[in-house]
Chain A
Amino acid sequence: MTVAATVRARFTGQSLGNLGPVPVSALLRFGAAIAVAMLAFAAIILADGTNPLETLRLMWDASVGTDFGRTEVLVKVIPFGLCALAVAIPARVGLINVGGEGQFYIGAWAAAGAVLYSGAPGWALIPVAFVAGAIGGGAWAGIVALLRVKGKVNEAISSLLLNFVAIQFVNYFVYGPWKDPDGPNWPFSPKFPDAAMLPMVYGDRLSLAILFVAVGLVALFLILRYTRVGYEARVVGGNPLAAERAGIPVGRYLLWALIIGGAVAGIAGMAEVTGIQGRLRPGISVNYGYIGFLAAWLGGHRPLGIVLACLLFGAISVGGDSLQIGLDLPGSTVNILMALILFAVLAGRKNRTKVGA
Chain B
Amino acid sequence: MNFITAVSTGAVRAGTSVMYASLGEVVAERAGIINLGVEGCMLAGACAGYIATAETGSPYIGIVAAFAAGGLLATIHAFLVVTRGANQLASGLALMFLGLGLTAFFGRPYVKVQITPLKDYAIPGLADLPYVGPVLFEHDVLTYSVFPLAALLWWFVFRSRWGVMLRAVGESTESAFAAGLHPARIQYAAVAFGGALAGLGGAQISLAYTATWVENLTQGRGFIAVALVIFAMWNPLRAMAGALLFGGAVALQLQLQARGVGVSPFLLDMTPYLLTIVVLLVWAQRGRDAFPAGLNKVFRGTG
Interface residues of A (CB under 8 A from B): 15, 44-45, 48, 91, 94, 96, 98, 147, 151-154, 156-158, 160-162, 164-165, 168-169, 171-172, 175-176, 237, 287, 290, 293-294, 297, 301, 329-330, 332-340, 342-343, 346-347, 349, 351-357
A243 and B256 CA atoms in complex are apart in Å by: 54
Min CB–CB distance B38 → chain A (angstroms)? 12
Q: Which residues from 31 to 61 on chain B have a C-beta closer than 8 Å to any C-beta of chain A?
A: 36
Task: Enumerate chain A residues within 8 angstroms of B176, measured Cβ to Cβ.
Answer: 356
Ranked 9 nearest A-B pairs via Cβ: A335-B101, A351-B85, A339-B98, A336-B101, A332-B104, A356-B177, A342-B94, A346-B86, A330-B104
Give the distance in Å from the alpha carbon of A48 to the alpha carbon of B181 in the complex: 42
A189 to B145, CA, bound (A): 45
Given known contacts A333-B104, A335-B100, A346-B86, is B273 in contact with A151 (CB within 8 Å)? no
Any chain A CB within 8 A of the CB of B108?
yes
Is A332 touching B302 in the complex (CB atoms < 8 A)? no
User: Bound state CA distance, A19 and B173, in angstroms?
Assistant: 32
Task: Find the A residue at minimum CB distance from B177.
Answer: A356
Chosen A-B contacts, 26 in total, with CB atoms closer than 8 Å, are A48-B106, A94-B301, A147-B281, A153-B280, A156-B299, A158-B280, A161-B276, A164-B273, A168-B267, A169-B270, A294-B94, A330-B104, A330-B108, A332-B100, A332-B105, A333-B105, A335-B100, A336-B97, A338-B94, A338-B101, A342-B91, A346-B94, A347-B86, A349-B86, A353-B85, A356-B183
- B residues 65-118 near A (Cβ < 8 Å) are 76, 79-80, 82-87, 89-91, 93-98, 100-102, 104-106, 108
- Contact check, A342 vs B270: say whether CB atoms are below 8 A apart: no
Knowing A164-B273, A301-B302, A333-B105, the reply to whether A346 touches B84 (Cβ < 8 A) is yes
Among residues of A, the one whose C-beta sits closest to the C-beta of B298 is A156
B300 in contact (CB, < 8 A): yes
Residue of B nearest to A350 (CB): B85
B2 within 8 A of partner (CB): no
B269: which of A157, A168, A290, A347 is its contact (CB, 8 Å)?
A168
Q: Tell me which of B87, B101, B106, B227 contacts A339 (CB under 8 A).
A: B101
Does B215 interact with chain A (Cβ within 8 Å)?
A: yes
